[in-house]
Amino acid sequence: MMIIMKVEATDKQVEAVVEKVHALGFETHTSQGEERSIIGVVGNNPITAQHQFVRMLGVDRIVPISRPYKLASREFIKEDSTFPIDGVEIGGKGILIIAGPCAVEDRSLLLENALAVQEAGAHALRGGAFKPRSSPYAFQGLGEKGLEMLAEVREITGMPVVTEAMSADQVPLITKYADMIQIGARNMQNFNLLNAVGESQHPVLLKRGLASTIEDLLMAAEYVLSHGNRRVVLCERGIRTFETSTRNTTDINAIPVLKAQTHLPVVLDPSHSTGHWQYVTAIARAAIAAGADGLIIEVHPKPDEALSDGVQSLKPERFAELVRQIRGIAEAVDRYVPPSKVTKK
């Protein structure tokens, strides 16, 4: 539930309500609006205790939250959440573009890729150091060596780095090198991992599971948010259906639905949702038109030689054309694509 404080409520009255909530065994998440404070109460059926707050000084009213997810709900926070990723904002009117290889393969190739996507207009660099693969014999990533390469390329380009964590014990290592932790589709309901990234207070890119509903995705986000980590981005990446002509089926409906139900930023991954580079640009265009706050796209200068997902990776020149088209669509829907960072050295 939410405890809505009066406009004239004092800090002391807000503090008294928070202390009362904690005394009853519930958690609080306070949101300070332009005019009043809103105290979100989270726990096992807190609505049963609402009568203990209605007469407290400074309390205006009690509002139940109907969704099973609370902190992710737009009922709790009305305005779109925005936050920076190493100085690059996500969630505002600007469109954030994350691009790079599926996997870190070697330093020179990673640097070449990073410089190319940056020149084309990307704001952040993606690249997997740990790779969850369907086959145990496929390339599994370079591990910490790959993270070191990502950090080195970040120093050269100035671009923040997004990379995937596969288990809770990898989180401290990844936060040492990366600016944003990606939770992949296969780990969306890895609750130990969700708790760990929540506790890390690091920005999180949470991908929708292969056969997960929108509510499942938002409940997974709730795990991260419950630790006070508000820097969560949701990612639609296609779901598993009976259709076989593409790798997955892009749920374009998910974008406006998520924008209506949650305050969290929403991005789309057209690479995994289609599985074929020929379709990536079209779906990326659709995502921005539908209201997405950004894109995460796989780009590789030599996709035929890529160790992972080359068939769905754009070449840098095709990526540059995609960004050009996205700029036009963003303008048409009253958004914009901000310029990418200038190379440091």
Residues 52 and 94 in one domain: no
DSSP letter, residue 167:
S
**Does any domain span residue 77?**
no
User: Helix 254-261 and helix 277-290: axis angle, to 10°?
Assistant: 30
Cα gap 253→268, rounded to integer Å = 11
Cα gap 50→31, rounded to integer Å = 18
Cβ atoms within 10 A of the Cβ of 320, count?
17
pLDDT at position 345 = 47
Closest CA to 67 of 218, 191, 229: 218
Domain boundary among 35, 63, 91: 63
* CA-angle at 73, arms to 172 and 236, nearest 5°: 65
Average pLDDT over residues 237-263: 96
125 pLDDT higher than 50: yes
Residues 54-85: tens digit of each pLDDT: 889 999 999 888 788 989 999 888 899 999 99
Residues 33 and 173 in one domain: no
Residues 138 and 36 in one domain: no
What is the domain extent for residue 281?
A: 83-332
Closest CA to 248 of 284, 272, 268, 266: 272
User: Looking at residue 118, which CATH number applies to its domain?
Assistant: 3.20.20.70
Residues 138-189: tens digit of each pLDDT: 888 899 999 999 999 999 999 999 999 999 999 999 999 999 999 999 999 9
| Mean pLDDT lowest among 1-10, 31-40, 240-249 | 31-40
Residues 255-309: tens digit of each pLDDT: 999 999 999 999 999 999 999 999 999 999 999 999 999 999 999 999 999 998 8
Q: Where are the beta strands (DSSP E) in 202-286?
A: 204-207, 232-236, 266-268
* CA-angle at 170, arms to 165 and 171, nearest 5°: 75
The model's pTM is 0.90
Give the pLDDT band of residue 29 (cuts 50, 70, 90): confident
Percent of the chain with pLDDT over 70: 99
209 pLDDT higher than 70: yes
